[in-house]
Every structure is written in C-alpha cells, then in structure tokens.
Structure 1
Amino acid sequence: MYNRFAQVYDELMADIPYENYLAWVVHEVGNLKGKQLLDLGCGTGTLSIPFAHMGAHVTAVDLSQEMLDQASEKAQQEQAELNFDCVSMTDFATDEPVDVAIIAIDSLNYLQHAEEVQQTFERIFSVLQNEGHLFFDVHSLAKIEAYLQGPFIYEDEEVAYMWSTEAGEEGHSVYHDITFFLKNEDERYERFEEHHYQRTFPLEKYIQWLKQAGFTTVTVEDSIFGEDHFGLRHFIHAKK
C-alpha cells in the first residue's frame, strides 16, 4: 500500500486546505514552540513540516517507508527538522510525553477493526501530557456512501487515474481500486495500480471510545475544510 502512490500523493491532494488544519490546531493549542507533536499517518509530511516551522518538535509516523522518504526529502528542501518512525499508529512508541497528537486526512479510516481504533486512542492517551490534545478527522457515513457513486476519473499533464470503488464486507467500508498513468521523463506513461480499504464508524462510536480511553473533553466540527466538505468529514478534538 502506498508504494508508488507516494510519488503522486501531493499532486492528488492539492485541493485539500491543509492551512485550515494548521489554523484549527493553533487556535485550540496556542503557541506550538517547544511542544512535542506526534503526526500519525503523516504521509509526505505536508502538515509535519509547517508544524516544525512553528517551533514544534515533530515526530512524523507512517506505515509506509515510501511516504516517509518523500517527507524526508521535502523536509530537507524546506529546512524543517523532523524525526521519523516507520510504524503503525496502533504500535508506535515515544521516548517522552507528547503535547499534541494528530491523525490527519482520514488516516484513521485505514484501521479495519474497532479494536484497532480503540487501541490507537488508548496508546495516544497514555503518551499525552496532562491536558494534552488529540486532533483527527474521519469520513462520515455519508462520505463512504458518496465514494460508492464512482468510478472517478482525473487527468492532467503529468498523471491520470481511474478510481473505482466497491462496498466492503464490513459496515461503512469501501474498497478503492485506483489505476494510475504517470508520465515519465521520456514522455511515456507508466501504469501502476493501488488497492486500499477504508472503514468508518458512527460518530457516537468515536466519542464513546475516546471517553473510554480517558479523554475528558471531546468536541466535533464539520466545517474545518469549508462548505464544500461539510458533512463529509468529522473533525474531532479530544483533550486529556
């Protein structure tokens, strides 16, 4: 998963308003200078890098080494100091307590079982400082249904894809089968395929599991990414 996808990920995610995510975290936490920040499912580091520029000590975690390689290259280019860890968000470890943890851009939806989500919440709670923060977003039930309206087609001068979807065996889950055509230096297109599986749960389940893990305050927003995304993602802030 994500082996070749890492090469085209940033281009395909160009319409995501990452700056809104940054503003949300800063609004809730305040000055990040000197804070220990854990970016789980960091992808190519698109959020990790600006958080580091704000003065946070960032550990960027992802299960894909290819994603981390892209993140490392970007961090060097943008002169951002990051620590990297190639591990699942269910199994990460930290050397010291964390002030802020983030699971951005529906990364949590790649966990297939409720027990894995609960384990992740419990592990994050255990490493957070008192009054530490967890920020994450997940697909709404409506977003999973919208995915099933595919296929979706995208094309520009460098990359094209056909994105087919199929309902998964579990409730509120979806299989993504994506065929890419990526232009090489010789102007020829290389074809490769990616296969992904995502699952979401009712919002009340996420809130229940957070409180069971020990979080004292849980707030939910649906408008962090603006009107075009309203009702398709739940943005959740939990505080220890």
Structure 2
Amino acid sequence: MEQYSDFAFIYDELMNEVDYNGWVKYIEDVIKSENTQVQNILELACGTGNLTIPLTKKNYDIAGIDISEEMLSVAREKAEKQGVELVLLQQDIAELDFDVTNLDCVLCACDGFNYVTYDDDLENAFKKTHELLKSGGLFIFDISSHYKLSKILGNNMYGENRDDITYMWQNDFDEEQNLVEMELAFFVKGEDGRYNKFEEVHHQRAYTEEEIIESLQIAGFTDIKSYGDFTFEKPKKDSQRIFFVCKK
C-alpha cells in the first residue's frame, strides 16, 4: 500500500498546528551557529513544501526531493499560488541520485530518515549526502527519537473527528526490529456530502542517537552535533525529536 498517496491531499489540513515558521527559524539559527555561508540547499523528503516554500522566499536556492508524486503535486500547486518557483524531483532518499555536487547544505526535516528502515540504505543515503556537499557544507536533519516512537506512539491508538475529516491511527511497535507500524484509516467528506474511506500503512524505524552517529561516521562525517527538541542542548532521555548537524 503506497504511503502518502491519497493522504497527501489532506496532509496539510491535518498538520495545520505544526509551527513550520518556527522550524524554518531553527534551521536558520543552526546555519548561523555554524558560521557557514549557505545559498543552495537540497531538501530531502520535502513533502508538500512546508519548509521548501518559506525557505525559497528567504532567497535560498532549493531543490526538493520526495518519494511521493502526490506530495510533490500539492507542493507545486501551493508554490504556484504563492508565486514561488520550485525545483522538485520524485525520488526515494534511500536511493539518492542527484547530479549537482559541491552543495552548501543538505536538509531533511520532519523525520524523513525514520522512513529509511534498513541500516545499509541509511548509510548509503548518508554517504551520497557526504559526496554531494562542498568542503565545510552542512547536513542538517532530524528524527523522531527512539523514545517517541517506542513509548509515545508505539502500541497506542489515536483518532480525531473534524468537520470534513475523521481518522483513526493504530500503532504497533516491534521491539526486536525497532519498527513501528502505523495503520491509518481516513474518512473524508466529498462534495456530495458522503464520506470516502481510504487507508495507508506506514513504517518508521526507531533509531537511537548512537546508531545515527555511527552511520554518519561510516559515511565519512566527523564533525557531528546533536540537539534535542529545537534547542542547542544535548538530547535528553525523553527528547521526542533529535536534530543532527554535520559539517563536511
């Protein structure tokens, strides 16, 4: 079952409480803290462009990559309405293949790498990223922490009944594989007033901070920093989001 297909067209409505402006500010604060000039950015798992578009408006040159053509379609439509030109490519970040090198920055936000569930695929993505960056270039990304996926989301059920959308979200965490399976069922009100149902199944890998750092080191990164929950402090045991900042 394909991920982010029908879901793509209601994704922004369901994520309307996410502070994307705050996310952009944090990314820019990270860049400033590294004293590195960043003009061009390759954004991995860019989704519907919630960071791509505002960063482009701040005069960064951005190319976005996402595995879902539906998510990219929504991003293109949003960008057109806002008068923003985007370069968007459909691609699996686990099989990253980008021709432009000497990049200032590679960015992956909103736990894109949790969807890369195999160690070899993760290492290959990190190695390709290392190759794409210029000397002194930045690799900035975040993951949902092992704590969040195993303790908060794992084996729990969520649901919400909005005016035009109702959803149910059942999680099952596999402790041996450190994988959480998310079964999502959506009921979306159509123009005729009837509700249409569709379902998706998502899998995310719960990585520890140490596992990510080891994979980054294998890929060639030596200057690696990690921060918890939109701060510049080391992640805590109960940090739900861990940011990694790597300089080539």
Note the 1:159-170 alignment, pairs <5 A: 159-168=165-174, 170=176
In the other structure, the counterpart of 2:132 is 127
Aligned partner letter, 2:163? E
1:236 aligns with 2:238: no
**Which residue of 38, 46, 50 maps to 1:46?**
50
Contact 2:24 2:51 in 1 (8 A): yes
Question: Structure 2 CA distance, aligned partners of 1:34 and 1:108?
Answer: 22
Contact 1:20 1:224 in 2 (8 A): no
Note the 1:9-28 alignment, pairs <5 A: 9-28=11-30
Question: Structure 2 CA distance, aligned partners of 1:32 and 1:5?
Answer: 37
1:175 aligns with 2:165: no
In the other structure, the counterpart of 1:100 is 105
Contact 2:173 2:181 in 1 (8 A): yes
In the TM superposition, structure 1's runs of 4+ consecutive aligned residues that sit over 3 Å from their partners are: 30-34
Question: Structure 1 CA distance, aligned partners of 2:22 and 2:246?
Answer: 18
Question: Structure 1 CA distance, aligned partners of 2:123 and 2:225?
Answer: 18
User: Equivalent residue of 1:212, what SS?
Assistant: helix
Give the superposition deviation at 1:200.
2.0
In the other structure, the counterpart of 2:234 is none
**Residue deviations 1:34-83, cap 9 Å, x none?**
71111100110000001111111111100110010001001111111210
Aligned partner letter, 1:72? R
Question: Structure 2 CA distance, aligned partners of 1:131 and 1:218?
Answer: 12
Give the superposition deviation at 1:33.
9.1
Contact 2:37 2:104 in 1 (8 A): no
Give the superposition deviation at 1:92.
2.5
1:137 aligns with 2:145: no
Structure 1 unaligned spans of 5+: none
Question: Structure 2 CA distance, aligned partners of 1:16 and 1:24?
Answer: 14
User: Equivalent residue of 2:121, what SS?
Assistant: helix
Contact 2:106 2:138 in 1 (8 A): yes
- Bigger drift between 152-161 and 166-175 goes to 166-175
RMSD between superposed Cα atoms in Å = 2.0
In the other structure, the counterpart of 1:79 is 83
Give the superposition deviation at 1:108.
0.5
Contact 2:38 2:105 in 1 (8 A): no
**Which residue of 93, 100, 120 maps to 1:115?**
120
Aligned identity (percent) is 31
How many matched pairs? 237
Question: Structure 1 CA distance, aligned partners of 2:60 and 2:36?
Answer: 5
In the other structure, the counterpart of 2:203 is 197
Relative to the length of structure 1, the TM-score reads 0.92
Question: Structure 1 CA distance, aligned partners of 2:92 and 2:62?
Answer: 17
Give the superposition deviation at 1:186.
1.6
Question: Structure 1 CA distance, aligned partners of 2:241 and 2:47?
Answer: 18
User: Equivalent residue of 1:208, what SS?
Assistant: helix
Relative to the length of structure 2, the TM-score reads 0.89
**Residue deviations 1:190-237, cap 9 Å, x none?**
111011111021111111221222223211111218xxxx61111111
Question: Structure 1 CA distance, aligned partners of 2:179 and 2:75?
Answer: 28
Question: Structure 2 CA distance, aligned partners of 1:217 and 1:32?
Answer: 13
Contact 1:33 1:54 in 2 (8 A): no
